[in-house]
Amino acid sequence: EAQVTQNPRYLITVTGKKLTVTCSQNMNHEYMSWYRQDPGLGLRQIYYSMNVEVTDKGDVPEGYKVSRKEKRNFPLILESPSPNQTSLYFCASSKLAGVPDTQYFGPGTRLTVL
């Protein structure tokens, strides 16, 4: 089954404790992206990746890191989480075939930083 998976789905942590949210897709998609969803703000892009070893900042990259060592994986790293990073996070992927294709989303990760 074609899908985007994220782990963990729920996470409660404390300020300053490094964490990684994993994202994996099995569709051989070139493009992957991370978003955060906050009430009243919709989804905002954190980072995106056009292909392996190619990443770029979205609208709200501060406090986040990403890496794209393999096509299928795009982990989101919070080196020193803070309470304002409490949010619902979505990973997405799409096939980059010359035109912007539809982005398919993972199930979401609800992160709480105390």
Partner 1 sequence: AQKVTQAQTEISVVEKEDVTLDCVYETRDTTYYLFWYKQPPSGELVFLIRRNSFDEQNEISGRYSWNFQKSTSSFNFTITASQVVDSAVYFCALSPAGGTSYGKLTFGQGTILTVHP
- Write out the residues near partner 1 by the rule CB under 8 A: 31, 33, 35, 40-45, 48, 50, 58, 88, 90, 92, 94, 96, 99-100, 102-105, 107-108
**Contact (Cβ atoms closer than 8 angstroms) between residue 21 and residue 111:** yes
CB of residue 105 vs partner 1: minimum separation in angstroms?
4
Q: Which residues contact 5 (CB under 8 A, 6 or more apart)?
A: 22, 23, 24, 25, 106, 107
By beta-carbon proximity to partner 1, the closer residue of 16 and 110 is: 110
Give the phi and the psi of residue 85 in degrees, each rounded to 5: -95, 5
CB of residue 112 vs partner 1: minimum separation in angstroms?
15
Determine whether 54 is exposed, middle or buried from the number of CB atoms within 10 Å of its CB (0-12, 13-18, 19+): exposed
CB of residue 94 vs partner 1: minimum separation in angstroms?
8
By beta-carbon proximity to partner 1, the closer residue of 14 and 97 is: 97
